[in-house]
Amino acid sequence: MVRIPDSHPRKKSLESRQKIVDGSSMGLLADSAMIAHGRGEAFDYLLGERTTESAREAIRESAARLGNARRPVISVNGNTTVLAGDGAIRLAAVLGCPIEVNLYYRTPSRVKGLISLLEELRLNVSQEAAPDGFYGDWKETVEGVSLLGESPNFKIEGLEGPRSNCTAEGIGGADTILVPLEDGDRCEALITLGKEVLVVDLNPLSRSARMASVTIVDEVSRAFEGILSCLLNDSEYRQAEWDNLKSLNGSLKEISNHFSV
């Protein structure tokens, strides 16, 4: 892997790009993964590669909804696992919820490969120091995170083909789903089933962004860090009446303000 000097102003972005390249060559990602990443990068560039004010509000709201959920789950695809699998493990540990690998272009070998990667990340995260604000046995809590998706036993109504497959213990039975980089159709089907759908998507114009209960317009690893910090250190915040389209308009304004001359 090419070493990017610390002084490079876009080091984080280049490292993420490399993770996608490596994930692809390991056979963990669909062919279209780089296209999806490229679209995300373009929007992140427009947003100034930072968590904007409207994203911060959506992060707080999502943390509150996850904290109040009866059966939350984190649904991850290939890109999310490769870019922010460790962040997903930390969040699942704090929420006491499972992570489900759920792929649009599902193949058994990719699901297996992504679960193996998550197992490796779970081991690494269990050996880290507990995050600020966490009280308890971090190692044991992290080791208890269950990783689902290998044996689907439930179908998301309203979707055809393999993309409808999921597990009853995870997405099927969940009331609240944190689902980064989701496809618009599946987001709509989950909303129709009455689930609370919290999306992370850098494109405020995507169908998923517009369909979701709450959309965090931010890069997935930054969004996960933000939610974790809210869960552990911002317990005063209460779930609010949420106008998601207003929040998306806020993101669009932040893009245009960032670049106005």
Question: Which residues in this chain contact ligand ATP in the complex, by CB under 6 A?
Answer: 36-37, 39-40, 43, 79, 83, 180-181, 183-184, 200-203, 206-208, 219-220
* Dihedral sign (CA 52, 56, 57, 58): positive
Residue nearest to ligand ATP (CB): 40
Q: How far is the CB of 16 from ligand ATP (least distance, A)?
A: 7
Q: How far is the CB of 127 from ligand ATP (least distance, A)?
A: 26
CB 137 → ligand ATP: shortest distance, Å? 31
In degrees and rounded to multiples of 5, residue 180 shows phi and psi of -75, 150
- 169: helix, strand or coil: helix
Smaller CB separation from ligand ATP, 34 or 232: 34
Nearer to ligand ATP, 30 or 93 (CB): 30
Of 17 and 139, the one with the shorter C-beta distance to ligand ATP is: 17
C-alpha 195, offset from chain centre? 16
Q: CA 96, CA 115: separation in Å to the nearest integer?
A: 18
Nearer to ligand ATP, 100 or 219 (CB): 219
For the bound state, the minimum distance from the C-beta of residue 112 to ligand ATP, rounded and expressed in Å, comes to: 22
Between 11-25 and 33-47, two packed helices, what is the crossing angle to 10 degrees? 170
Between the alpha carbon of residue 254 and those of residues 204, 211, 247, 261, the distances in Å are: 11, 20, 11, 14
Q: Taking the mean position of all CA atoms in its chain, how far away is CA 66? A: 13
Residue nearer to ligand ATP on the CB measure, 39 or 112: 39
